[in-house]
Structure 1
Amino acid sequence: MIRPAPPGHCPAYERYAALPKAHLHVHLEAAMRPGTMREWCAEDGVEVPPLVDFPHFTGFLDAYGVLISLLHTPERLGRLLDEVVADAAAQGVVALEFASIPDKSAAFDSAEEALEFILPAASAAGRRHGVWTGAIVSIDRGAGPGHALEAAGLAARFAERGVVAVGLVADERGNPVADAAEAFAIAREAGLGVVPHAGELAGPEEVRSALDLGVDRIQHGVRAAEDPRVVAELAASGVCLDVCPSSNVILGVYPTLAEHPLPTLLDAGVRCSIGADDPLLFGVDVVDEYVLAHEQMGIPDAGLAGCARASIDSSFAPADLKRGALAGVDDWEREAGQLPG
């Protein structure tokens, strides 16, 4: 079972926490602190959901639903945002792109009201903790075409106020990425990025479909490794995969981290960022994922610095922030080259 390295007690954790990085694949509600979750469950008389060990994808979605239900007041949502951004800062994150489905908010009567609260609260937390933040409005691919168009239109209305992209989440099987093409066009018209989940529970054909739609990044995308032609297309396109290895193992996409294709994808020239996906539910934060990538997947420091560069360069953060963060990665790599492996 994958367990996180305790922050502050593991030299490897501290080492990779010092590496500047963007966190591009994290779902807001599931970035809740364990202590905060237990506190709110006790206050609401709700049973603590299972963590890390999920018998199937539906069990994971059920646990996620509990987290959404806990966020039934603006005060709780504001606290969540502050804690998530503070934790990101402690993990060396300079740019945080968090995903959520605003119309599922339990604290507000509408998705518009939810974003009216979330965006300035996230920006204020970013200023307090020194982290740039951008919001990804997620389309629930199982909710039908009407929802997809509504979500894209909502994102477009907030394009100049902190929303940076639209995503596409939930079970791919039977819900292909191509079905969201019209919603993606609305987002693009508004100047937003497109960052769907693809190639996680479905195969490499979904990654190719995402590429055909002209997406900016692909969340997961690891099943591309099953088709060398798709891997070559990815490498040639420069599209970044936002990879979450522990998530893939815990949800049964791969049996172990040792069998995860991230090293293969990197060796083939595919740009990859590293993310934690749902830190609370999977028991790892983004730094833990870097540690595991090095210790259990054999990716050297140079490769991990490359992932950090890809994350920063592929983010929607301002250009001046990117320049400073990339210089910080160079500094980290020079120092890392003087340390034992």
Structure 2
Amino acid sequence: MRTFLFLSLSLFVAASARVELHVHLDGAVDSELLADIAALRNLTVPGTSTTPPSASDLDKLVRSKSSFERFDVINDIIGGSVEAAYAVGVWFAERQGRMNVTYSELRYDPLRMSRSSYENSTADMNVIVESLTGGLTNGAKSHGNTVHTILCAMRDQPVENCFQVAELAASLDGVVGIDLAGDEATYNNTAFVPCFKYAKEELHLNTTVHSGELGTLEARRFDIRTAVLDMNVDRIGHGYAAAGDAELMTLLKDHKVHLEVCPGTALAEKEIDAVKEFLHYDLSFGLSEDDPSPYFGGCDFECIEVVASSCQGRAGLKPSPAARAICTARRLIGRGGGGMSDADIEKSYQDAMNAAFA
């Protein structure tokens, strides 16, 4: 595997230790990693000119697709292979270590990771999860960091799949919980309440649910409410729709639900002002990247800290050109930053550590 290079490595080293609870595996990769995996598998990828394809060819292919189609291309390259799962695990753990992320919880859909239409292959989910976990463990050793995984049930899949994912999570080491991800705007929480009750009450799993991010305001607030009251979740991914609703904010605080805030995503969805309200209510929330790949916004840790503050960066750390570009975009669309001070950012990482599943 290649050594992953960062232009702003000195900034990452200078920053205090980070904790990340919300980052998607297929939303974190780049063309170099995809090319490495394609070479490992000697993979033929439709739409590219060579076998295995080059990083530049893969970059062009992924960028030619719509947002959700990009996830399909990525998963068809990294999925369905035990060797690829291990290699991706090593890569991700080393990535987090170089960014001074001392503790991470990486999430992915094990059903999707178990197959590849490019190779026409399917692997046993248990073996895929164990292999990825092994890669994460070994990759983390050289940096002294820790990476665990969260398995995702997907909203557009049958509810039976959710139960299958929950059972899998409960049976394997290195897996610390389950998540519900996917198209919130089309599929709300209702059908998945029994699965998450089962996961919590019978399997004693840690649970988190994407809620309050996509769809109408009413629907997003409904999902936050059901996640807390019906699913009894430990954490909520995003949760921005709670801002502006005093009852929901109080509900989150009273039930001690931690929010996995992703400033880059919140900025893109014009929800960054929610961070200020979370601060005002003194809610427990952390900062995460969500989908830091260049194919999904490319907002890494330096970027999310800049967005979470007032686009000035943290004390002693000058924002990179890429992070400054994000701030320029913020000003152009007339949105304020998250308004977090250095002390607020430090507290957010402590809150995340307190809410960690392992």
- Map residues 2-151 of structure 1 onto 2, 5 A cutoff: 6-8=7-9, 15=14, 18-37=15-34, 40=38, 43-45=51-53, 47-48=58-59, 49=61, 59-72=66-79, 73-105=81-113, 106=115, 108-151=122-165
Q: Which amino acid aligns with 1:179?
A: A
CA distance in 1, matches of 2:122, 2:182: 22
What do the CA deviations read for 1:52-83 (whole angstroms, capped 9, x no partner)?
x99xxxx3221111111111433332222112
Paired residues of 1:31 and 1:279 also in contact (CA < 8 A): yes
2:299 is equivalent to residue 284 of structure 1? yes
CA distance in 2, matches of 1:114, 1:79: 11
CA distance in 2, matches of 1:262, 1:43: 46
- Give the structure 2 partner of residue 176 of structure 1: 188
CA distance in 2, matches of 1:19, 1:152: 34
Secondary structure of 2:354's match?
A: helix
Note the aligned Cα RMSD (angstroms): 2.4
Offset of 1:112 from its aligned partner? 1.9
CA distance in 2, matches of 1:262, 1:151: 31
- Map residues 293-308 of structure 1 onto 2, 5 A cutoff: 293-296=308-311, 297=337, 298-308=339-349
Paired residues of 1:153 and 1:186 also in contact (CA < 8 A): no
Secondary structure of 1:148's match?
A: helix
Aligned pair in 2 of structure 1 residues 230, 6: CA closer, same or farther (>3 Å)?
A: farther
CA distance in 2, matches of 1:236, 1:90: 37
- Give the structure 2 partner of residue 206 of structure 1: 223
Offset of 1:184 from its aligned partner? 1.4
CA distance in 2, matches of 1:84, 1:273: 20
> Highest Rg: 1 or 2?
2
Offset of 1:47 from its aligned partner? 4.4
CA distance in 2, matches of 1:185, 1:67: 32
Offset of 1:166 from its aligned partner? 0.5
- Give the structure 2 partner of residue 312 of structure 1: 353
Secondary structure of 2:348's match?
A: helix
Offset of 1:38 from its aligned partner? 5.1
Q: Which amino acid aligns with 1:287?
A: E
Aligned residues: 297
Secondary structure of 1:218's match?
A: strand
CA distance in 2, matches of 1:92, 1:287: 11
Structure 2, unpaired ranges of 5+? 1-5, 39-44, 116-120, 312-336
CA distance in 2, matches of 1:260, 1:37: 35
Structure 1, unpaired ranges of 5+? 318-341
- Give the structure 1 partner of residue 210 of structure 2: 197
Paired residues of 1:126 and 1:133 also in contact (CA < 8 A): yes
Paired residues of 2:85 and 2:135 also in contact (CA < 8 A): no
Paired residues of 1:21 and 1:311 also in contact (CA < 8 A): no
Identity over aligned pairs, percent: 22
CA distance in 1, matches of 2:122, 2:8: 34
What do the CA deviations read for 1:192-220 (whole angstroms, capped 9, x no partner)?
20011011103222111111121010011
CA distance in 2, matches of 1:155, 1:236: 28
Paired residues of 1:27 and 1:98 also in contact (CA < 8 A): yes
Offset of 1:312 from its aligned partner? 0.7
Identify the match of residue 157 of structure 1 among 164, 171, 195.
171
Secondary structure of 1:129's match?
A: coil
CA distance in 1, matches of 2:300, 2:35: 18
2:264 is equivalent to residue 246 of structure 1? yes
- Give the structure 2 partner of residue 219 of structure 1: 237
CA distance in 1, matches of 2:239, 2:67: 19
2:284 is equivalent to residue 271 of structure 1? yes
Secondary structure of 1:32's match?
A: coil
Secondary structure of 1:150's match?
A: helix
CA distance in 1, matches of 2:352, 2:100: 12
Paired residues of 2:259 and 2:284 also in contact (CA < 8 A): yes
Paired residues of 1:166 and 1:195 also in contact (CA < 8 A): yes
